[in-house]
Amino acid sequence: MEKLVYLDNNATTKIDERVLDSMLPYFKEEYANPSSMYDSAHCCANAIEEARKDIADFLGVKNEKSIIFTSCGTESANTAIKGVVNQYGNKETKNHIITTQVKHHCVLSVYKNFKKKGYRATYASVNENGELNIENLLSKITSDTILLSVMHANNETGAIYPVYEIAHEAKKINKNLKIFVDGVQAAGKIPIELEGSDIDFYSISGHKFHAPKGVGALYVKKGTLFEPFMLGGHQENCLRAGTQNTPYIVGMATAAKLAKKSLTYELSEVKRMRDKLEDGILHSLKNAQLNSKSKNRVPNTTNIGFKYIEGELILLYLNELGICASSGSACTSGSLDPSHVLRAQKVPFESLHGSIRFSLSRFTTEDEIDYAIQKIPEVIKKLAKISPFQKELNEFGL
């Protein structure tokens, strides 16, 4: 297979060459432990502090001390959720924690664990467009609620949630409640402005915006106490122990600067190509249905259901043609269960099993989109011929 059309950028992204270049000195010459006492160590420590400023700037935060470096988005989410529950939760009576049905597994699994331990967990629903009913979400808050976790953008559909408004309104109901926002799929796709917001914790992951896998960050609002997840040395102001990964932190900071500069391109060109792909598929296949229906959506993502066609087969056939896409989230691929996000949105069963996410990046080209628009309908038509649902597919002219 010669051609590679990578349309799975919500799973991970290609490392930008400039990111790699910025990392290399910290593998070769500047490999000291940033906590040590000699010049080369200071050089690493300084690079980390510069990176902290860049990440703060990326997240629209003035005080770079609010940024903690972690190993990934999952660690950032675990730090925030466990940190809040262990700090503020009542071990005897337990408390109430809220999230949404469409959250990523890095949040849902932690909630499930706390539920097993006796905490009460509430999951707010979404409508058919994947949008949250804010009033309904807020109505779930009680004086006993200690944590509300929402995501900024959904990894499967690209839906953007009004996190600033949610945080603001939630704090009016219970000022002690902590707000954690998973910003992993928003970073690099839409502007982020945390300064002055009511958000207490905000997570990002480098590999979703052209930095390598294995590095992330967590914003913690000034003065917000939480029990650290990783205990050990004094790194990260004692809030995340473990020798800092200098090259990866530097790489993520370079990626953040580049992503900030590319935002206009993401919001115009990447969006234009995404819309072209989406329209191309929807116009050539009558059994194709858009699952990404939220009015507000990140520019790179579309999720399309192909009625009466099996999603795993679509992915296998696309793979043969060099097209990479996915069904569900990267963490659940391998599982045949239909996506919990699409189920929460009540996507009908006939397209639930044949739903595919296509996610672009600033490296996606017009040629690749043209190729995908040509090949995807061919694959669906081929699969329609071997589907057991001939009668139903005939109605769509397939």
Known catalytic membership, residue 43: no
**Based on CB atoms, which residue is closest to ligand PLP, 110 or 384?**
110
Q: Is 72 in the site for ligand PLP (CB under 6 A)?
A: yes
User: Which residue in the set 147, 184, 211, 352 belongs to the binding site for ligand PLP (CB under 6 A)?
Assistant: 184
Contact string 148-177 vs ligand PLP (x = CB under 6 A): ---x---x----------------------
Q: Is 330 in the site for ligand PLP (CB under 6 A)?
A: yes
Rounded Cα–Cα distance for residues 364 and 301 (Å): 12
Scored b (16 or more CB within 10 A) or e, 82-104 reads: bbbbeebbeeeebbbbbbbebbb
Within positions 215 to 254, which residues make up the interface with ligand PLP, using CB under 6 A? 216
Cβ-contact 203, 183 below 8 angstroms: yes
Q: Is 44 in the site for ligand PLP (CB under 6 A)?
A: no
Give residue 243's identity as a one-letter amino acid code: T
CB of 126 to ligand PLP, least distance (A): 15
**Residue 2: Cβ within 10 Å count:** 4
Which range, of 247-255, 261-269, 329-337, 355-363, touches ligand PLP by CB under 6 A? 329-337
- In this structure, the strands spanning 355-359 and 323-324 are unpaired
Which range, of 118-126, 171-179, 325-333, 365-373, touches ligand PLP by CB under 6 A? 325-333
Which range, of 193-201, 243-251, 293-301, 326-334, touches ligand PLP by CB under 6 A? 326-334
Q: Is 205 in the site for ligand PLP (CB under 6 A)?
A: yes
**Based on CB atoms, which residue is closest to ligand PLP, 182 or 198?**
182
Task: Using alpha carbons, select from 301, 307, 258 the residue that is nearest to residue 278.
Answer: 301
Beta bridge partners of 356: 304
Contact string 293-312 vs ligand PLP (x = CB under 6 A): --------------------
Cβ-contact 207, 12 below 8 angstroms: yes
SS3 category, 317: helix
**Based on CB atoms, which residue is closest to ligand PLP, 104 or 189?**
104
Which range, of 54-62, 127-135, 244-252, 327-335, touches ligand PLP by CB under 6 A? 327-335
- In this structure, the strands spanning 67-70 and 216-220 are antiparallel
Number of chain residues interacting with ligand PLP (CB under 6 A): 16
Give residue 373's identity as a one-letter amino acid code: I
Q: Is 104 in the site for ligand PLP (CB under 6 A)?
A: yes
The CA distances from residue 289 to 47, 93, 154, 283, 351, in Å, are 48, 46, 18, 10, 8
Rounded Cα–Cα distance for residues 196 and 91 (Å): 32
CB of 252 to ligand PLP, least distance (A): 11
Nearest-10 Cα torsion for 389, 392, 395, 397: -20
Rounded Cα–Cα distance for residues 342 and 118 (Å): 28
Cβ-contact 144, 95 below 8 angstroms: yes
Among residues 72, 106, 324, 331, the one annotated as catalytic is: 331
Q: Is 186 in the site for ligand PLP (CB under 6 A)?
A: no
Q: Is 326 in the site for ligand PLP (CB under 6 A)?
A: no
Which residues 6+ apart lie within 8 Å of 1 measured at CB?
320, 321, 322
CB of 105 to ligand PLP, least distance (A): 8
Q: Is 145 in the site for ligand PLP (CB under 6 A)?
A: no
Q: Show which residues are catalytic.
A: 331
- For binding to ligand PLP (CB under 6 A), which residues are involved? 72-74, 104, 106, 151, 155, 182, 184-185, 205, 207, 216, 329-331
